[in-house]
C-alpha cells in the first residue's frame, strides 16, 4: 500500500508537470476559473515562495537526506497507519520535486490561485500530508 501511494503521487505529479510544460508558455497565465484559478508555468529555482533562489545543491542534499529519513521511519512497524500514509504522501511529493531538480535544475510549478505563490501537485500533497501528520502527532495516542 505504501509503495502504491508513493508511486501514484510521483506519477501524477510528473504527468501534470509534463502536461503543463507541453501546453503552457513560461510565465504566461491562462485563466481557468476567472478570479480564482489560473495555470501559470513557472520554473522555481528556490524553495517555497521562491525563497533561497539558485541553491540547487543545497535543495538536492536536503531532499536526499529527508527521503532517507522518511524511508527509515516507514520501516518502523510501531508507527500508526495514518503516520505511515502521511509519510508516504510526503515522500512521493518530495521525490516528485527532486526529480525536477535533478533533471531540470528547477521545479515546475503551474497551479496559480492568484493569492498564493504558484505551486504544483507535489507541493499540494506534501502540505495536506503535513497537516494530517501534525494532527496525528498532536491528537492521537501511541504515535512513535
Query: How many structural domains compose the chain?
Result: 1
Tell me how far the alpha carbon of residue 138 is from its chain's centroid: 23
118 occurs within a structural domain: yes
Q: Does 81 reside within a domain? A: yes
In a domain, 32, yes or no: no
User: Per the domain annotation, does 15 fall within a domain?
Assistant: yes
Q: What is the pTM (predicted TM-score) of this model?
A: 0.88
Residues identified as active-site:
109, 123
In a domain, 115, yes or no: yes
Residue 144 belongs to some domain of the structure: no
Q: Domain limits at 64?
A: 2-26+38-139
CB 63 within 8 A of CB 113: no
What is the pLDDT at residue 50? 63
Residue 144 scores a pLDDT above 60: no
Q: Specify whether the CB–CB gap between 95 and 52 falls below 8 A.
A: no
Query: Is residue 31 in some structural domain?
Result: no
pLDDT of 44 higher than 80: yes
What is the per-residue pLDDT for 134?
94
Q: What are phi and psi of 54, to 5 degrees?
A: 60, 40
Dihedral (Cα; 114, 119, 124, 130), 10-degree rounding = -100
Task: Give the pLDDT confidence of 7-36 residue by residue, as tens digits.
Answer: 999 999 999 999 999 999 999 999 999 999
Query: Strands of 30-33's sheet, edge to edge?
Result: 30-33, 37-44, 107-112
Cα–Cα dist 115/14, whole Å: 24
Note whether residue 134 is domain-resident. Answer: yes
Amino acid at each position: 500500500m505504501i509503495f502504491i501511494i508513493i508511486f501514484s503521487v510521483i506519477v501524477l505529479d510528473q504527468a501534470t508537470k509534463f502536461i503543463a510544460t507541453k501546453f503552457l508558455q513560461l510565465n504566461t497565465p491562462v485563466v481557468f476559473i476567472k478570479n480564482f484559478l489560473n495555470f501559470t508555468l513557472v520554473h522555481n529555482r528556490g524553495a517555497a515562495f521562491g525563497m533561497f533562489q539558485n541553491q540547487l545543491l543545497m535543495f538536492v542534499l536536503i531532499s536526499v537526506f529527508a527521503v532517507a529519513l522518511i524511508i527509515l521511519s516507514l520501516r518502523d512497524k510501531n508507527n500508526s497507519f495514518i503516520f505511515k500514509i502521511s509519510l508516504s504522501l510526503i515522500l512521493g511529493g518530495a521525490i516528485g520535486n527532486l526529480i525536477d531538480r535533478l533533471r531540470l535544475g528547477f521545479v515546475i510549478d503551474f497551479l496559480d490561485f492568484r493569492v498564493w505563490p504558484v505551486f504544483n501537485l507535489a507541493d499540494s500533497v506534501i502540505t495536506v500530508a503535513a497537516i494530517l501528520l501534525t494532527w496525528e502527532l498532536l491528537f492521537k495516542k501511541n504515535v512513535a
